[in-house]
Amino acid sequence: MKKIPGLLVALFLLVAPVFATETRPNILWFIVDDMSANFSSYGEKLIETPHVDRLAREGTRFSRAYTTAPVCSPCRSALITGMYQTTIGAHQHRSGRGTEKIVLPEGVVPVPAIFQQAGYFTCIGDGLPDAARAAKGKNAKKAGGEGGGERGKTDYNFEWDPKIYQSHDWAGRKAGQPFFMQVQLAGGKLRGGNDTTAQAFAARTKAALGAATDPEKVTLPPYYPRDPVLLRDWAAYLDAVRMTDRHVGDVIARLEREGILDQTLVIFTTDHGISHARGKQFLYDEGTHVPFVVRGPGIAQGQVRDDFVELIDLAPISLAAAGVPVPAAMQGRNVFAAGYQARAEAFAARDRCDETVERMRSVRDGTWLYIRNYYPARPALQPNAYKDGKSIVQTLRALHAAKALDPLAEKLLFSPTRPAEELYAWTTDRWQVNNLSGDPAHRAALEKLRARLDRWVIETKDQRAESDAMYDSDMKVYVGDGNRKGKAAGSTVTEQNIAQMKAWAREGK
């Protein structure tokens, strides 16, 4: 990776605070957990999302936006640095949390630190004024993700200084000082992880919005059965989209009341797709395709762009809008720059998620999605305590055991092995169900994208698998005495999964 000389960084940080602040826009990001592009401006028919739709109508909507990692911490480590998580060594989910630490490469600086040195007030929270938050009482944290004055979700896998955030809200800034605000919302997590919480959330939505989404009207991807548990979960997920949209509206209304909406660059996106069996943690569209809407000074209104944008582009877009130099080493791109050359491809990577060892890489162009599986001898749905604790996955596993799933679901969800390579005509095969990697008619496309991914791995210095020492260090956080809740060592689901991972590694799987 190209490094920024330390002297240049020091000089920039020295002069940045003297930039004029009065004319620079505020920067506000909406970052939402576990949510795909299920907004009416993106074609969702069952619900309405007027506030995100307003941002799209008054700004620019990207139809082909993708996360670089379909799970929280690697994605957030990437977007806050403008770097691929695989380049900076932050690609294993919830890594660096034990005795073994991850330190950013020289010249890579978290975006809030750059904004702060440039004179911006940096904050992260739910975007609601304290009085409004207090009025929501005990439900504030659930509604906004960060209630009671708490700072918002970070979840970075590298060592960082909490002082890069000065507050949970921009209200504490100096007169005339621009702010960089991240509004962190719980999104898809609002519905909880089981059927009981999904039904409770439906009742809460009905009380708040007048009606809840009817599970019987839900359209599921073709590989999920129309089981009542899955239908209720998806309906609750769509209600989480509606509640998220309402929160967005509350923040927009606040910006308007304070007279600063038109002086604020607003970017709405999510960290990755819906948390589901083939969504979150996987490189299909269900896990990687996200909404991405930009509104503010200098942004075209009502425009829809079909070129690729990656979440690491958040950083350079925002820095450039603020007149702050974009570090030369940053891999994200300012897609609004004069003379910008659109991306020809979009890349994504999935690695270890909690205790479950995994490695996948993908590249897509305007026609094809190519996925490489580095552990093809392992099952499609590896054991994972987080996912296996969800009612939807438990239901799918029960139906599989009862031989009650159709052939497509069995093939895509419960195959005991998987192909080393996958190739999908993603623009027509919406859910990526027809793997064409073995079709001689598409061999040229397969070889082209295979070679392109090989180059990307080398060009971006993909750090690949983690060491045994790092894995063991991180697993102590999951299986320490405090996480066993009275159970004997080695008895928890997580510990059993760790043992399985190590056994498969010994077997060369």
CB 457 within 8 A of CB 361: yes
Asked if pLDDT for residue 142 goes beyond 90, the answer is: no
Q: State residue 488's pLDDT score.
A: 75
Q: State residue 10's pLDDT score.
A: 43
Asked if pLDDT for residue 11 goes beyond 80, the answer is: no
- In the chain, what are the domain boundaries? 473-509
Mean pLDDT to the nearest integer, 369-397: 98
Q: State residue 267's pLDDT score.
A: 98
Cα distances (Å, whole numbers) of residue 398 to 227, 443, 447: 11, 38, 39
Mean pLDDT to the nearest integer, 176-185: 97
Asked if pLDDT for residue 18 goes beyond 70, the answer is: no
Asked if pLDDT for residue 276 goes beyond 70, the answer is: yes
Asked if pLDDT for residue 291 goes beyond 90, the answer is: yes
Q: State residue 479's pLDDT score.
A: 86
Give the count of beta carbons closer than 10 Å to the beta carbon of residue 10: 10
Give the count of beta carbons closer than 10 Å to the beta carbon of residue 343: 17
Q: State residue 199's pLDDT score.
A: 98
Question: What whole-number distance in Å separates Cα of residue 73 and Cα of residue 349?
Answer: 13
Burial 93-104 (b: 16+ CB within 10 A, else e): bbbbbbebebeb
Mean pLDDT to the nearest integer, 196-214: 98
Q: How far apart are the first and last CA of the chain?
A: 31
Strand 264-270, strand 26-32: pairing: parallel
Q: Which residue has the tokens 């994605």?
A: 75
DSSP string computed for 334-349:
-TTSTTPPPBS-EEEE
Where is pLDDT greater, at 141 or 330?
330
Taking only the tens place, the pLDDT of each residue in 80-90 is 999 999 999 99
Mean pLDDT to the nearest integer, 455-473: 96
Mean pLDDT to the nearest integer, 380-400: 97
pTM recorded for the entire structure: 0.92
What is the number of H-type helices and E-type strands within the chain?
17, 12
Mean pLDDT to the nearest integer, 250-262: 98
Q: State residue 490's pLDDT score.
A: 76
Question: What whole-number distance in Å separates Cα of residue 247 and Cα of residue 4?
Answer: 39
Q: State residue 145's pLDDT score.
A: 33
Asked if pLDDT for residue 52 goes beyond 70, the answer is: yes
Share of the chain above pLDDT 90, in %: 88
Asked if pLDDT for residue 432 goes beyond 70, the answer is: yes
Q: State residue 324's pLDDT score.
A: 97
Q: Residue 25: which pLDDT band, with cuts at 50, 70 and 90? A: very high
Name the most confidently modeled range: 13-22, 131-140, 220-229, 461-470: 220-229
Give the count of beta carbons closer than 10 Å to the beta carbon of residue 365: 17
Asked if pLDDT for residue 146 goes beyond 60, the answer is: no
Strand 360-364, strand 292-295: pairing: unpaired
Q: Which residue has the tokens 């809030």?
A: 112
Asked if pLDDT for residue 377 goes beyond 80, the answer is: yes
Q: Which of 83, 68, 79, 92 is nearest to 3 (CA)?
A: 83
Lowest-pLDDT range of 147-151, 219-223, 351-355, 495-499: 147-151
Q: State residue 136's pLDDT score.
A: 56
CB 497 within 8 A of CB 478: no
Tokens of 219: 């359209």
Q: State residue 480's pLDDT score.
A: 75
Query: In the beta sheet, which residues pair with residue 269?
Result: 31, 292
Q: Residue 1: which pLDDT band, with cuts at 50, 70 and 90? A: very low
Q: What is the DSSP letter of 145?
A: S
Mean pLDDT to the nearest integer, 239-246: 98
Mean pLDDT to the nearest integer, 464-476: 94
Mean pLDDT to the nearest integer, 2-15: 42
- Secondary structure (3-state) at 221: coil
Mean pLDDT to the nearest integer, 383-405: 98
Q: Which residue has the tokens 């009742």?
A: 203
Question: What whole-number distance in Å separates Cα of residue 278 and Cα of residue 223?
Answer: 9
Question: What whole-number distance in Å separates Cα of residue 230 and Cα of residue 391?
Answer: 8
Question: What whole-number distance in Å separates Cα of residue 222 and Cα of residue 286?
Answer: 12
Strands (E), 378-437: 421-424
Lowest-pLDDT range of 55-69, 218-232, 471-485: 471-485
Asked if pLDDT for residue 14 goes beyond 50, the answer is: no
Query: In the beta sheet, which residues pair with residue 55?
Result: none
Q: State residue 331's pLDDT score.
A: 98
Question: What whole-number distance in Å separates Cα of residue 33 and Cα of residue 241?
Answer: 10
- Secondary structure (3-state) at 270: strand
Q: Residue 489: which pLDDT band, with cuts at 50, 70 and 90? A: confident
Cα distances (Å, whole numbers) of residue 112 to 194, 318, 324, 331: 35, 11, 12, 17
Mean pLDDT to the nearest integer, 39-43: 98
Q: State residue 211's pLDDT score.
A: 98
- Secondary structure (3-state) at 317: helix
Q: Residue 141: which pLDDT band, with cuts at 50, 70 and 90? A: very low
73: phi then psi, degrees, rounded to nearest 5: -65, -40
Asked if pLDDT for residue 19 goes beyond 50, the answer is: no
Query: In the beta sheet, which residues pair with residue 304?
Result: 61
CB 309 within 8 A of CB 72: no
Strands (E), 175-286: 179-185, 264-270
Mean pLDDT to the nearest integer, 486-495: 82
Query: In the beta sheet, which residues pair with residue 181?
Result: 28, 123
Question: What whole-number distance in Å separates Cα of residue 8 and Cα of residue 6?
Answer: 6
The phi-psi region of residue 425 (left if phi > 0; otherwise alpha if psi is between -120 and 50; otherwise beta) is: beta
Mean pLDDT to the nearest integer, 253-277: 98
CA Rg, the chain, in Å? 22
